Structures are given as C-alpha cells and as structure tokens.
Amino acid sequence: MKRRISGRTGLLGLIGTPVGHSGSPAMYNYSFQRLQLDYAYLAFDITVEKVPDAIAAIKTFKMRGSNVTMPCKSEVVKYMDELSPAARIIGAVNTIVNDDGKLTGHITDGIGFVRNLKEEGVEVKGKKITIMGAGGAATAIQVQCALDGAREISIFNMKDAFYEKGLKTVENIKKEVPGCVVNLYDLDDTEKLNAEIASSDILVNATLVGMRPNEDKSNIKETSVFRKDLVVADAVYNPKKTKMLEDAEAAGCKIVSGTGMLLWQGAEAFKLYTGLEMPVEEVKEQFFK
C-alpha cells in the first residue's frame, strides 16, 4: 500500500448502508493493482439522507465514480446528468461514472446477469423467460432481458408490496420494448407457474427464497417442471448453489448460479470506470471460489 497510493491516486467508492460486509473494495482494489491502475476503492456508509452530500463529495474529490447499493440506488437517480437506457427505465443506479463533473448513472445488475448467461453458453435473444421476483434484482434482469431481445417474459411474484412494482415493470417494458411480450402473475398460482415454465427456455429465481438463512426453501415445489432443455438460473449467490439449483441439476437441467451475475455486474462497472476488462478469471479464483 505504501508503494501503491500516491498523490495522484484516483478515488472510487461504494455508497449505501450497510457496506461493511461488501466484497467490492477487495475485488476492485485487487483488479487495479493487478492492471497497475492508479486507483483506490473504499466503502462509505451513506444513508439516503446523506446522498446529496455523497454526490457533492464525488464531484469535489473528483472521484472517477462510485458504486451504489441499497438503500441509495433510487435516490441517486435525481442527481445524474445522464442515465443509461436500463437505469432510466428501472429508475435505479448502481454505478456512477464521473466524467469531469458530468455524472452518468448505469445499472449493471441486469447486464451482469445476461453476460453471465452468455459466458455459460446461453443467449436470451428470442427466448421465453420465466422470472420469479419483482424486487431490485428481478426488475434489472427483466428490463435487460427485454432490451437484449427476449421474446417473452413471464413474471411471477407473491401478492406483497413488490407486486405493484411488477405491474410498473410490465408497463415500462411494454412501452419501451414493445416487441417483447410481458405479463405478471401471482406466484401462488402454481398451475399457471408450471404452465409458463413448460413453455419457457429459461427459469430465473430473483426472490429472497433460497437465500441464507432460508437455504432449504425453493419457489419450485413441483420439481417435475425441470426438463433437461430448461436452463435454470438464480440471482441468489449465498449459498452458491441454492435448493432450486440443486433440484434442477438433479433433474438434468443446465444451472447458472448468482455468483456469476455478481462477478459480471462488477466487471461491467470496472469497464465503465476504466475502459478495461477486469481480470475476471483471477477475480473469480480469488474471491468467488
């Protein structure tokens, strides 16, 4: 560190709360060091009320940019000079790039999800995708899949507060990507869920179900829906292989874990900051094993 930090070292960061558990500082600092880029990355505990101060600091300290996590992802939107298409549609930002005081907001979660599928040999273009969830991760995945040419998206969510958000996503996708057929259904309607999965190429879980401490749970109760030609992906990365993925793998499906989405959303942000590819294989080896 003594040799690495100089008077010219550029600063990047993560804002949100809590941030103490975040793996981002380790991942980005490792990558900067590996590529000999003169940047340092720190996590800053920032509440929603402190967002205006944090944005001012990004400009004052001429930071190259910042990642944004909960609960600040929607709040930062109003301070951006420009938004990526997905960030505009979703109304949330997880990556801010500072070009000489001009702030552009991006959301890389959905891009990371699609890129990870591609790395696994799965394309979303022309596909029908059933996605369980209507929260932050699910919305990012749904919008990016639509932007990247998915033919049809069937969203399932329980009738909680997120159902309304799902209705808004359906409305947004219909308006912004009219070529994509999109519908929202109740996750408790098992018959409809099974029917939509039967005509889908890809099934995605982007709910909290299956995440620690509920790792023994899966939204898919009837495992007969898992066919060999169905790709089954999870946004949940803790545990790496969820119960849903274990059941799908046992039935012969190709499975895709949420860890890859996490890795690639970070790699996409790294590229936006530096214009360079993150050393993904090494980062995977160091932090995602």
Note the residues at the interface with ligand NAD (CB under 6 A). 109, 112, 133-138, 157-158, 160, 162, 187, 206-209, 211, 235-237, 258, 261-262, 265
The answer to whether the annotation marks 136 as part of a ligand binding site is yes
Phi, psi of 63 (to 5 degrees): -65, 145
Q: What is the DSSP letter of 22?
A: -
Indicate which residue of 62, 73, 174, 254 is catalytic. 73
Question: Least CB distance from residue 76 to ligand NAD, whole Å?
Answer: 16
The C-alpha atoms of residue 19 and residue 178 are separated, in whole angstroms, by 38
- Considering the complex, state which of residue 81 and residue 160 has its C-beta at the smaller distance from ligand NAD: 160
The answer to whether the annotation marks 179 as part of a ligand binding site is no
- Considering the complex, state which of residue 41 and residue 162 has its C-beta at the smaller distance from ligand NAD: 162
Check if 128 is active-site. Answer: no
Give yes or no for a contact between 266 and 287, defined as CB atoms under 8 angstroms apart. no
Residue 186: strand, helix, or coil: strand
The answer to whether the annotation marks 135 as part of a ligand binding site is yes
- Considering the complex, state which of residue 75 and residue 109 has its C-beta at the smaller distance from ligand NAD: 109
Question: Least CB distance from residue 263 to ligand NAD, whole Å?
Answer: 8
AA identity, residue 203:
L
Question: Least CB distance from residue 10 to ligand NAD, whole Å?
Answer: 25
β-bridge partners, 156: 132, 185
Question: Least CB distance from residue 70 to ligand NAD, whole Å?
Answer: 7
The answer to whether the annotation marks 94 as part of a ligand binding site is yes
Burial 262-282 (b: 16+ CB within 10 A, else e): bbbbbbbbbebbbeeebbbee
Alpha helices (H) in the chain, listed in sequence order: 24-34, 51-60, 85-90, 109-119, 136-147, 162-176, 190-198, 243-250, 258-274, 280-287
The answer to whether the annotation marks 134 as part of a ligand binding site is yes
Cite the active site residues.
Answer: 73
Which segments are annotated as binding site for NADP(+)? 133-137, 235, 258
Which segments are annotated as binding site for shikimate? 22-24, 69, 94, 109, 237, 265
Which segments are annotated as binding site? 22-24, 69, 94, 109, 133-137, 235, 237, 258, 265
